Amino acid sequence: MSFSENLQFLRAQAGDTQEQLAERLDVSRQSVSKWEGGQSFPEMDTLLRICDLYDVNLDTLLRGSVEESRTADTARYDAFMNRFARRVSLAVAGIISGVGLAAVLEGAGLPEVWSAAALLLAVCVCTVVLVASGIQHENFCKNHPVLADFYTREEKEAFQQKFVWYIAGGVGACIFGVVLLILGASLLGEEPPWDGYITGVFLFIVAGAVWSFIYGGILHDKYDVAGYNRDNNPTPEAKRRRELVSTVCAVIMLLATAIYVGLGLALDLWGRAWWVFAVGGILCGVAAVALGPKEE
């Protein structure tokens, strides 16, 4: 489609008349008519205003087919976000599972260095996955800062039905884990090796619940294409707050790692000092809420 055809499609889809579009762009109706007739071409600043007005990128407006982009996932956004959701959710759940595995190994009577090694290996692998996934997501957003909302209402409503179960399932798993922890402690006691086994099973269940929360949450955000476009075109204040949150979280997790290693070397608490990572994660969440950008 040519620019003139794309402009006609966008204006008609928005329900604007030529007079209304001209008023929004601060030009004459005759100018809009000439653009749509292929008799003239707007200036660059006007083209950018059209892109902002109709939520379309410049390349598609000038050389692509806006109609096709509004009905097809040309950027393969859906497939990318599905992969991103799986990797991030599994990586976070993997870190928690690593803590559970360390508790099981300690309960089994193995040397603490083994449980510490298992935990650090899980943290290392999962951190690599998280960092790589974050870089890929950042690159995707830079390459596709604006997307058309190609999801149908039926697709969004169908996911909302699934989303309820992702959240309810995670909550149910957490409650089940707590009940199992209480029953296990009362029936089997809190002495080795049962304390380690019970704690490990509890953390495995929590890892599953966290996976459900994160996976469902990322998929929920996937369908909010308008939010995606807003996030990738932030105000200077929102951008500053995001950078602040990233810096604070990085410092928190570095301190957590340093404290864990310090406790391990000084007090030989490799198998019992895993809680510092949980505290670090909670503090990162608090920082994101307190310092993150506020929706207007």
Q: Of 219-228, 232-241, 255-264, which range is least confident?
A: 232-241
- Taking the C-alpha atoms of residue 28 and residue 21, their distance in angstroms, rounded to an integer, is 9
- Which one of 86-95, 224-233, 285-294 scores highest in mean pLDDT? 86-95
Tell me, letter by letter, the H, E, C secondary structure of the chain. CCHHHHHHHHHHHHCCCHHHHHHHHCCCHHHHHHHHCCCCCCCHHHHHHHHHHHCCCHHHHHHCCHHHHCCCCCCCHHHHHHHHHHHHHHHHHHHHHHHHHHHHHHHCCCCHHHHHHHHHHHHHHHHHHHHHHHHHHHHHHHHCCCCCCCCCHHHHHHHHHHHHHHHHHHHHHHHHHHHHHHHHHHHHCCCCCHHHHHHHHHHHHHHHHHHHHHHHHHHHHHCCHHHHHHHCCCCHHHHHHHHHHHHHHHHHHHHHHHHHHHHHHHHCCCCCCCHHHHHHHHHHHHHHHHHCCCCC
Is 32 in contact with 50 (CB distance < 8 Å)?
A: no
Angle at 194 between CA 193 and CA 195, to 5 degrees: 95
Query: How much is the mean pLDDT over the chain?
Result: 84
- Taking the C-alpha atoms of residue 211 and residue 222, their distance in angstroms, rounded to an integer, is 16
DSSP string, 254-269: HHHHHHHHHHHHHH--
The arithmetic mean of pLDDT across residues 185-209, rounded, is: 83
pLDDT tens string 98-148: 988 888 888 888 887 888 888 889 989 999 999 999 999 989 988 888 787
What are the structural domain ranges in the chain? 3-69, 77-233, 234-296
Residue 184, pLDDT score? 84
Residue 296, pLDDT score? 47
Of 67 and 229, the one with more pLDDT: 229
Going by pLDDT thresholds of 50, 70 and 90, the confidence category of residue 93 is: very high
Query: Distances from the Cα of 263 to the Cαs of 89, 171, 256, 257, in angstroms?
Result: 29, 33, 11, 10
Residue 58 pLDDT > 70:
yes
CATH class, 3-69 region:
mainly alpha
